[in-house]
Amino acid sequence: MHHKSTPTAKIFLFIIFAILYTPIFFLIFYSFNSGGTMSHFEGFTLDWYKELFHDTRLFIIVLNTLVIALLSSLIATIIGVFGALSIHAYKKRMKNTLLSLNNVLIVSPDVIIGASFLILFTFAGIKLGFYSVLLSHIAFSIPIVVLLVLPKLMEMSPSLVDAAKDLGASNWNVLTKVVLPYITPGIFAGFFMALTYSLDDFAVTFFVTGNGFSTLSVEIYSLARQGISLNINALSAVLFVVTILLVIVYYFITQRTNMKGVGIRK
């Protein structure tokens, strides 16, 4: 039953989309402004982009952000997969306890995570900087990986494992030849979700970053607090284009795998 959408519905959706995208295009538009403000467009210029690409400090910060994101998601994925495997092996009661503990960091506000990790690192004598940020990112990514891998494990029929064992597979073989291939989509989803969380994180990093080390979010925050500088606009335009490219790639990959999936089921 598909109702034709009424004009009011269309207008409503249009307004929502307009509001969602206005700030983004607003930023990009003024990144070409030679006037240096976000209120009066004087003339077209690419100076802000030139400045952006010559800013080595910012380049290092972008690299830091990427290294932290990739490394933390990789480590979190490994620990998370093992965590999901062990949670899956437990009986119901223990499973629920573990899951509640797992979800604490997901529902905690970032400020709490940041503040409590700051206390933790100070207490443990870990110097604030690269390692404290990396450890924090690993820590808040693990539960996300677990949550995305676990449903795949639940969905897997136990007879697959039994069959492999009857056929003489060792535990290691069962894991690498049967279980891991089956839950691969969940593992990838977990990894990419962890990557997104890490790239996006501001509050936790802000608490545990110390003085010498900075990620992109923290840098944008300190720039934005100083007021308007069109470098940030140019940066956001570049980031937005990268995001869109990733979305397009992602969209086509999922479209293709979806079709493949349908093909197999038929």
Partner 1 sequence: MGNKLTRNLYMIPYSLWIVLFVIAPIMLVLYYSFFDIEGNFSLINYQKFFTPVYLKMTLSSFWYAFLITLISLLFAYPTAYLLTKTKHKQLWLLLIIVPSWVNLLLKAYAFIGIFGQYGMANSLLEMIGIGSRQILFTDFSFIFVAVYIFIPFMILPIFNALNELNPSLLDAANDLGASKWTAFRRVIFPLTIDGVKSGCQIVFIPALSLFMLTRLIAGNRVITLGTAIEQHFLVTQDWGMGATIAVFLIIAMFFIMFLTRDRKRGV
Nearer to partner 1, 86 or 257 (CB): 86
Q: How far are the Cα atoms of 60, 64, 117, 120, 210 from residue 205, in angstroms, in the given order?
A: 16, 12, 10, 14, 9
Residue 265 CA to chain centroid, in angstroms?
31
Nearer to partner 1, 97 or 184 (CB): 97
DSSP per residue, 126-191: PPSSHHHHHHHHHHHHHHHHHHHHHHHHHHS-HHHHHHHHHTT--HHHIIIIIIHHHHHHHHHHHH
CB atoms within 10 A of CB 257: 11
Q: How far apart are CA 191 and CA 186, in angstroms?
A: 9
Nearer to partner 1, 60 or 246 (CB): 246
Q: How far apart are CA 222 and CA 205, in angstroms?
A: 13
State in angstroms the smallest separation of the CB of 85 from partner 1: 5
Nearer to partner 1, 71 or 112 (CB): 112
State in angstroms the smallest separation of the CB of 7 from partner 1: 12
State in angstroms the smallest separation of the CB of 112 from partner 1: 5
State in angstroms the smallest separation of the CB of 265 from partner 1: 19
Nearer to partner 1, 35 or 185 (CB): 35
Cβ proximity of 215 and 133 under 8 Å: yes
Nearer to partner 1, 21 or 188 (CB): 21
State in angstroms the smallest separation of the CB of 132 from partner 1: 12
State in angstroms the smallest separation of the CB of 121 from partner 1: 10
Phi, psi of 182 (to 5 degrees): -65, -40
